[in-house]
Structure 1
């Protein structure tokens, strides 16, 4: 058909017929001329399944469909979600705190909040909050899409913590919603924030934010916070004070200057500077004025109503531990967790045993506070006590003493970490040596009977090289050659300083961390062998409970259960896995029985008339300049750490190192209760004994070791009493004499509970430590054995 005919055919209404598909030539037949053979080099290969499913058109179509669905979903959510009635005040409900037996311990008070108009707050103070949280507040749309998206992703992936919220979003969360970290709540927050931005002015939103935020100390809103931290009304706040309150919102309790750790003080100072620098950057504060601002003086906190006596200390620790669980399990920030816990309708049952709590308070009164005469002796006003008692098998905190009264002394002495634990740290060094199979400088294994040079001010050596550390012993006493057991009994500084270097200070501090001490930021230097770091009775109780529990990690917990509508909080097991071998832990315990029966705690504990066969291990501690004194001890079923702290009741006078004394400064305890030095073997050990022997029964340690005082009887006992008699009835209560130097403290078999006939011969070591009269500890002028432990 010619071209003209084809054209006419199309014009007549027909389409040009498609050329017929030529069939492939059969085998043996040559292709027809003008056709290309199929499957030749020029043919296109067939498309695979994946290429047919994921074409560019389909991918783009799917993407735009998802976007469209998301937009339609958000429009639907926007239309569906209304701005609810403000319920911030209505949500605040009293928490109920109970003893372990279910009886009520305390109810916290009503919400401490007073709403103030924004015009009552100085303009520059208003701007400190904007500078701290949301510099773009005055010109943004009220939401941070990037931050919200990050929060949603983190929530879906289980990573927690949302960041980047605007002031509007935080206000919505505080006033209209709650602190829950759920996708639903975050989406509602986004929608309500957009609507609030349309309905309210920026000033109304800012006023709402600063009036509903939680600032710590039980204070909600800027007026309550101004009174709590500066004892002024919000209208009288200065810009530097406002910057501090704005900084607090990130972590109220951690940043409270009155109770903050050194790390907390460093962080809040940095945050305070950040706020003021942002104000300068935004043009809200002149540079010259900024340069003249100094960190404000924070007033002492006051206890909340209904939390007098020990109640406030117990409630404070319970709240703190619950907040930690919310942060770990629900991904809340510290500020969010505090706001979610305080006065929010929780029923919290504590592990506190009512009888043991009463007994501990009574022991402190009878052995310490009842003997203080604050009018006759100025130093008696400076004495603070803290104690924590723990069940080593469960990790439950059974009793706690935080101070004389929560109203009089807001700072919890049971959890404070600003005083040195002194020689109560020495068992950690021994534990590290045993766990690491460490050796002395001449290659001998470190064990209870290993001999060291106990010369006072002896230079510590590291394979012949001096490390520049030569600590004195108490009264500069020289012990010459002395076993590790006897060195622990008498708390010989020179021995443990050398042992720390022998083990390696890095390994010592690593062991301390595994046992439960917060070692962040601590330097692994020889001076730490004297316990020169900070620690709390709570930490020390946990470390010694781990020894008592044969090396299984004990993290003391005060919470038995915590219930709240809409929230489920699992309280983790307080006993974890093994962090120290049983042999090492049990050897430490065995050695520490010598401290009680033959060493620095002998008079107050071993010879205590209340003792009724309980086997006891423990360690005394007295810090540099007598600023703190400790006794941490344990029976097989109870661990208790008692600390005494010198804290200046008011400013004035000169400290023991020539420094001017300010209120709250660390000062010497010397002369308290009318005596001389206050050492760990004195009041702390007496408090421990009065409490422990009143609440525990006769028991002996189950030790898997052949070392230490608990399993090393002498070859020739010098008494005729039966093994069941208590240490107070044996001659061991008297100091060793020069006429019988072979009966060194670690070899006296007076600690009868561990030396019953049930012990097998395999528990007896094949070698005996060398003895010398020089191993005897010097008697302190006060009548006790008092090592220098600094």
Structure 2
């Protein structure tokens, strides 16, 4: 029999209470939910790993700099240059945290409260408020994509927590600032600093840092260059909010905050910046890196390199200005065909180091991709004659009658005089002088001043055609052959080639091959080994200085073909050059500090062939002593402004009067045989009106100069040009 009291029995629930869960049911359900959530969390934690980085986020540009660190251009598929946390100033780090995630240094990679606020605002207010931390945004940029899905958000949360455990806060912040988009096609804070303030990130001020941090929220809207007044006000409000946040976080004092004025950014610039001369400079430096095997093409195209070049920003601009002033202001391409078919190339070298300090490749790389500064398409004419003289002096050569050759040696200057002593089985050779003009007995010095072909054709044979060709090769010229016409510059070379030859004379016979790259580094710390640039003695100082003194006469002599360069008003040496049919005209010269070559070339872009520059600017025959010498003088005056006026050393024989050349003295004649020159020498012929002697029609070298685009050059990772390879000349922008 039961002893349980009726009051001890469980009461049955009645009414609405029967529909409510018991506390046991609630507890059980809660435990079940916790277990399920915990299991889901554990499953997600162990199944969602840190993935490989996105391929596109690792792409960087290459940054090309002038020698002073200012920007030439950036190249590559993405405008990004990664930098280390040490290169990001504290002001930028603090501004970013104040703008994007003030709990960054305390949170575990996610902010649950911020996430909850974001969900609430998205669901109930319709506002896009992600609540993402800096770590989450870095994960989204670096590992995931920009899609707005639940699965992507879940991955982002778990990866962010793992990244926070694996990486330091500084590493995460640097990664975020290197991968974020700032507008103006700038990815990363370094590119942004360049785009908005034309400086490196490490030089950003507090105000600039706050503005770049403000951009992270809405880059397009907060760019104050916009036409929208409302957007500009919003940008200023955001900027002020960031600064106030820096004060709240004790990174900026109220007093310092009050002094910060809005740093107006520069106006937006076209991407890449390869217009004008920039593309030519980049291509020259790129070719230098590849030819010296400093980097492979694959390494260079991978991006992330910061290349400091030897190019001087002011001198490069000065050369472009000289071309603009002397050519564009005087040419009339609408009414004169000769004025439409003009290319101009220039190169300038420091003779003591071999550094290329300036180039002029053409009107603009984006219009004319082939550089007239470095392309070896055009014959150099009489600018080759100093090499002939140097070979004769170096070899202690003698005339056909056995007289030692010096700058004072007399030769017959008769036009079409048969050259004596040609190698066996060589056809007779008798080059005409310019205008078929004949001279009497003149010295080697005078023949250089007036650019007399008959004299230098004979001098080349007397020096030995093979010796002349060998010396040219030692001076860096390729494709020079031991033919009777060698003295008249029938081989094709670039302005850079010729500037290097004359730089060797300038440096007293020591050749340093021209080079363009000072420094190469990467944000990862890579520093490729750069080649050394030792000098090689090609000529004795005595011979080189003798040639320099002769070339001074070309400029100092009122009858010299380079007399236009006298307006430089400082000691200079140089030589003009004009080729057959006036297809190219040159002036190459130097002072003790700088060697420069300027070439003008006739090019019909539509026909794709070389053409004559005859009647350029309506002035009749083109000549090296006109436009090229004028451009050279204008450039050198600007390039050497503020530099001391230095003198050349006197030649070792003690000559070198006020004109820089030799005073003629009576020596044995080199005019015997064929020339019929006298053996008793009259006073040298009076100096004619300055002119430049064109190279006559001569036996060609083994192959004609190329007229198409050059071959064998690596294809750059650059935007394709919009025009043809060699356009007509137009005023420079």
TM-score where L is the length of structure 1: 0.53
Give SS of 1:342's match. Answer: helix
How far apart are the structure 2 equivalents of 1:304 and 1:526? 52
CA 464–507 in structure 1, closer or farther in 2 if over 3 Å, else same: closer
Q: CA deviation at 1:461?
A: 1.4
CA positional deviation for 1:694? 2.4
Q: 1:774 to 1:101 in 2, by over 3 A?
A: same
Pick one of 546, 551, 556 that aligns with 1:587: 546
Aligned equivalent of 2:601: 645
Q: Contact between 1:460 and 1:467, CA under 8 Å: does it hold in 2? A: no
Query: Which residue in the other structure is 1:440 paired with?
Result: 399
Which residue of the partner structure matches residue 635 of structure 1? 591
Deviations 1:274-298 (A, max 9, x none): xxxxxxxxxxxxxxxxxxxxxxxxx
Preserved contact between residue 381 and residue 694 of structure 2 (Cα < 8 Å): no
Does residue 646 of structure 2 align to residue 699 of structure 1? yes
Residue 603 of structure 1 deviates from its aligned partner by 3.7
Q: Distance in 2 between matches of 1:447 and 1:92?
A: 62
Shift of 1:774: 6.6
Q: State whether structure 2 residue 57 is matched by structure 1 residue 110.
A: no
1:359 aligned onto 2:326: no
How far has the Cα of 1:529 moved from its partner? 1.4
Provide structure 2 residue ranges, at least 5 long, that are not aligned to the other structure.
1-50, 80-269, 669-679, 697-733
Question: Are 2:491 and 1:533 equivalent residues in the alignment?
Answer: yes
Match of 1:482 in 2: 442
Identify the match of residue 555 of structure 1 among 478, 489, 513: 513
Counterpart position of 1:394? 353
Q: Which of 77, 101, 104 is the aligned partner of 2:68?
A: 101
> Does residue 596 in structure 1 map to residue 555 in structure 2?
yes
3-state secondary structure, aligned to 2:285: helix
Partners in 2 of 1:442 and 1:712 — Cα distance? 27
Distance 1:381 1:771 in 2: 48
The residue correspondences of 1:57-96 to structure 2 (distance < 5 A) are 92-96=59-63
Superposition map of 1:365-376 within 5 A: 365-376=324-335
CA contact (8 A) 2:422 2:461 kept: no
Contact 2:561 2:692 in 1 (8 A): no
Once the two structures are TM-superposed, the CA of residue 376 in structure 1 deviates from its matched residue by 1.3
Which residue does 2:695 correspond to in 1? 789
Which residue of structure 2 aligns with residue 51 of structure 1? none
How far apart are the structure 1 equivalents of 2:597 and 2:650?
Answer: 21
Change over 3 Å in CA distance of 1:457–1:774 after alignment to 2: farther
**Counterpart in the other structure of 1:416:** 375
How far off its partner does 1:87 sit? 8.1
8 Å CA contact 1:628, 1:644 repeated in 2 = yes
Mapping of 1:644-723 within 5 angstroms? 644-650=600-606, 663-696=607-640, 697=643, 698-706=645-653, 711-713=655-657
Q: Show the counterpart of 1:119.
A: none
Superposed displacement of residue 343, structure 1: 5.5
Q: C-alpha displacement at 1:511, in angstroms?
A: 0.2
Matching residue of 1:309: 276
Q: 1:449 to 1:773 in 2, by over 3 A?
A: closer
Q: 1:381 to 1:703 in 2, by over 3 A?
A: same
- Name the residue aligned to 1:775: 685
CA 775–346 in structure 1, closer or farther in 2 if over 3 Å, else same: farther
**CA displacement 1:707-729 (0-9 Å, x = unmatched):** 7xxx344xxxxxxxxxxxxxxxx
Alpha-carbon shift at residue 342 of structure 1 (Å) = 3.4
Q: Distance in 2 between matches of 1:105 and 1:645?
A: 26
Alpha carbons 1:396, 1:574 under 8 Å: kept? no
Contact 2:348–2:596 (CA under 8 A) maintained in structure 1: yes
SS for the counterpart of 1:540 is helix
Q: Which residues of 2 match residues 198-597 of structure 1 at below 5 A?
A: 305-326=272-293, 337-342=296-301, 344-462=303-421, 467-519=427-479, 522-564=480-522, 565=524, 567-597=526-556
Paired with 1:539 and 1:413, the residues of 2 have a C-alpha distance of 12
SS in 1 for 2:292: helix
**Higher relative contact order, chain-length normalized (CA < 8 Å, sep 6+):** 2
- For 2:83, the equivalent position in structure 1 comes to none
Relative distance call for 1:533 and 1:87 in structure 2 (3 A) is: farther
Residue 479 of structure 1 contacts residue 774 of structure 1 at CA under 8 Å; is this kept in 2?
Answer: no
The one-character-per-residue Cα deviations of 1:241-281 (angstroms, maximum 9, x if unpaired) are: xxxxxxxxxxxxxxxxxxxxxxxxxxxxxxxxxxxxxxxxx
Report the alpha carbon displacement of residue 561 of structure 1 after superposing the two structures with TM: 1.1
Q: Report the CA distance shift for 1:441/1:90 in structure 2 as closer, same or farther (over 3 A).
A: farther
Distance 2:288 2:325 in 1: 31
Cα pair distance change 1:343/1:453, threshold 3 Å: farther
* The one of 568, 572, 585 aligned to 1:616: 572
Residue pair 2:650, 2:656 contacting (<8 A) in 1 also: no
CA distance 1:393–1:625, change in 2 (3 Å): same
Residues 56-83 of structure 1 deviation map (CA, whole Å, 9 limit, x = unaligned): xxxxxxxxxxxxxxxxxxxxxxxxxxxx
Per the alignment, in what secondary structure is the counterpart of residue 449 of structure 2? helix
Query: 2:451, 2:561 within 8 Å by CA — same for their partners in 1?
Result: no
Conserved 8 A contact 2:73-2:272: no
Q: Does the 8 Å contact 2:553/2:560 carry over to 1?
A: no
Distance 1:486 1:472 in 2: 17
- Between the aligned partners of 1:767 and 1:778, the Cα distance in structure 2 is 21
1:96–1:104 contact (8 Å) kept in structure 2: yes
Aligned-partner Cα distance in 2 for 1:86–1:523: 56
CA separation of 1:575 and 1:362: change in aligned 2, threshold 3 A = farther
| 3-state SS of 2:332 partner | coil
CA drift at 1:574: 3.6
The answer (yes or no) to whether the contact 1:478–1:774 under 8 Å persists in 2 is no
User: What is the root-mean-square deviation of aligned Cα atoms in Å?
Assistant: 2.7
Task: State the secondary structure of the residue aligned to 1:376.
Answer: coil
1-structure distance, mates of 2:439, 2:665: 25
Residues 86 and 442 of structure 1: CA distance in aligned 2, closer, same or farther (over 3 Å): farther
In structure 1, stretches of 5+ residues that fail to align are 1-83, 113-302, 331-336, 651-662, 714-748, 756-762
Please give the per-residue CA displacement for 1:176-213, whole angstroms capped at 9, x wherever unaligned.
Answer: xxxxxxxxxxxxxxxxxxxxxxxxxxxxxxxxxxxxxx
